[in-house]
Amino acid sequence: MEQESHGRGNVGFLKKYAYDYLSSLAKGHRQVEDAAELIRHFQKKSNEDGLLYWDFHVDENNMMCNFFCRDGRCRIDYETFGDVLSVDSTYKTNKYNWSCAPFMGINHHVNNVMFGLAFMSRETKSSFNWLLNTFLESMSGKQPETIFTDQCQAMMNVVENIFPKSHHRLCQWNIYQNAHSHFGSLSNNPESKNMFHRCMELCETEEEFEKFGVT
Cα torsion angle, 136, 137, 138, 141, sign: positive
CB 146 within 8 A of CB 159: no
- From start to end of 38-130, where are the E strands? 53-58, 64-70, 84-87, 91-93, 98-106, 112-120
Cα torsion angle, 115, 200, 92, 112, sign: negative
Residue 27: predicted pLDDT: 52
Summary mean pLDDT of the chain: 83
Asked whether the predicted pLDDT for residue 157 surpasses 80, the reply is: yes
Asked whether the predicted pLDDT for residue 211 surpasses 70, the reply is: yes
CB 11 within 8 A of CB 2: yes
pLDDT digits (tens, 9 = 90+) for 162-173: 999 899 988 777
pLDDT digits (tens, 9 = 90+) for 108-129: 999 999 999 999 988 889 999 9
pLDDT digits (tens, 9 = 90+) for 3-60: 776 676 666 666 666 555 545 544 555 667 888 888 899 999 988 888 999 999 988 8
98-106: which pairs have CB atoms within 8 A and are 24 or more residues apart? 99/123, 101/131, 103/70, 103/74, 103/135, 105/77, 105/78, 105/81, 106/81
- For the full predicted model, state whether its pTM sits above 0.75: no
Within 13 A of 160's CA, how many CA atoms are on the CB side?
5
